[in-house]
Amino acid sequence: MVVKDEKKTFTVLVSDAMSAEGLQPILESSAVNVIQESIDTTTTPLDEVDALLIRSATKVTAQVLTSMPNLKIIGRAGVGVDNVDIDAATAHGVVVVNAPDGNTISTAEHTFAMMASLVRSIPQANQSMEDGRWDRKKYQGAELYGKTLGIIGFGRIGAEIASRARAFRMNVLAFDPFLTQSRAEKNHVTAVSLEEILEQSDVLTVHTPLTKDTKGLLNDETLKQTKPGVFILNCARGGIIDEDALFRAVESGHVRGAAIDVFEEEPAQNHPLTKLPQVITTPHIAASTSEAQQNVAESVSKEVLDYLCGSPAPHALNLPYLDQDAFEKFSPFTKLTKTLGDTASQLFKEPVKQVEISYAGEISDQETGLFNRSFLAGFFRHRVDDYVNEVNASVVAKERDVELLERHESESKGYASFVKAVVRGESREIHVHGTFSREIGPRIVEINGFQIDFQPAPHSLYVRHNDRPGVIGKVGQLLGSHDINIATMQVGRKEEGGEAIMLLSTDKECKEPVIRAFEEIDEIVSVSSIELG
């Protein structure tokens, strides 16, 4: 490789403790000088540092970035990047990379170890032996052979768990809004609905991201839909399971046992679930193996070294710095397409096979590849357990077998710029059209053939209803009774008395109890909350 800088060596600061084996790529390279010291105590001048390797302890703020004017890349040895100000890094022209695959195996193996321990009461039996007891009859367990495993969330980790479950000759069901039939078949699992997986699973494990749609996904209501005697596991994200509801379900005997590695609030010391003998817990250690730590350190070490030596960074999480002219030129359109993608994703709750984006007018003459990625970044934001943006959105789509089509059309329907997006699933599709006005920003002008003129807002409601007198008043009254103020409202219909839609912006989020309350209005067909980033 040809080093792209005039200097013969680069200075790499490893600010957090990392696996020595994982750091070998940079330790053995003559192209870099490695300093293993905390950024807070290092004697190395920060303005000489070319690359920074971190885990979760080091906080990379805008102030830190200002003190490191020569910094080119930050490598996060792990998945989460909450400790890095990515916007500030982008503004400073610093690339941020992570290691999204490093802990996949460790988490999958920990989940399966928890599963086996749970159904055989191994921790409880071990404790009884330590207490001097011999309780053979008390700890009669269950076999995994022949049981139905339900995996909620079928990303990398879910797929690894499925392969291990098949080795135990379990029947594997999977629920994931983005799981297509072809990918399910490829992984030898049966794709089912949420209701079906709750009703049919003997063992249920969750592996979704934590979003507004998945927070409290397993709660009092959904737990009641599960099989009596079900086993529940969470080694993904605290908050996916309502912990109070799980406590009640275990205490009542409906849930036979639970295995929990993650909690809504951590550290979870003296947590009520740890007091139940049917529950086994671990302190968020699913990704804590020496191999995982070596893998993530090795992944970012290689990527940082390759980047410094002139190669692209495949796991980059941010875009290169754009000068002011380029930013002003592209940002209005990326904001539009990201908004359309975000909106379409929240209105389309089933597996996706294809996304088709059409451009007309001024926008079609721009760099539409960037706008495609922006749409996908918005689209996947609520659905995957990774940091998704314009850089890696295409990779995320490819991993999930989502085909992207781009078209250019001459008809812009009178708008200066016009974007049509069609999201296709296995049984239906959704159309979301938008435009951009320099005076008022992005606007949604059509949803599934209903003409509207809606300015996207942080909190919105999409209401499908039958066109009858008084429906709008009922909607306003219901929201008012929940102390929710309507900021704007747009109504669209195709014919008098037929189906119609309302798109409302509200002053605050309409949470699940409000959404359920709409069932009381006979004319309402469906209601979806839209939360834009």
Which residue in 55, 110, 237, 424 is the catalytic one? 237
Tokens of 207: 């592996």
Helices and strands, number each (H, E), in the chain? 16, 22
Residue 453 phi/psi, 5° resolution?
-145, 85
266 classed as catalytic: yes
Does residue 308 contact residue 51 with C-beta atoms inside 8 Å? Answer: yes
Which residue in 92, 166, 254, 284 is the catalytic one? 284
The DSSP-derived string for 122-174 is HHHHHHHHHTT---TTTT-----TTPEEEEES-SHHHHHHHHHHHHTT-EEEE
User: Distance (Å, rounded) from C-alpha 399 to C-alpha 17?
Assistant: 31
| CA distances for 197 relative to 171, 176, 208, angstroms | 12, 11, 14
| CA distances for 526 relative to 131, 345, 502, 522, angstroms | 56, 16, 11, 11
Alpha helices by DSSP H, 230-381: 243-252, 290-308, 324-347, 368-380
- The dihedral formed by the CA atoms of 505, 210, 297 and 38, expressed in degrees to the nearest 10: 70
The size of the chain, in residues, is: 533
Alpha helices by DSSP H, 356-467: 368-380, 393-399
Does residue 377 contact residue 341 with C-beta atoms inside 8 Å? Answer: yes
User: Distance (Å, rounded) from C-alpha 326 to C-alpha 331?
Assistant: 8
Which residue in 266, 403, 406, 426 is the catalytic one? 266
Tokens of 416: 């200066």
Tokens of 523: 């004319």
- Phi/psi class of residue 158: alpha, beta or left (left: φ > 0; alpha: ψ in -120 to 50)? alpha
Bridge partners (DSSP) of residue 421 are: 357, 432
User: Distance (Å, rounded) from C-alpha 407 to C-alpha 460?
Assistant: 29
Does residue 212 contact residue 235 with C-beta atoms inside 8 Å? Answer: no
Catalytic residues: 237, 266, 284
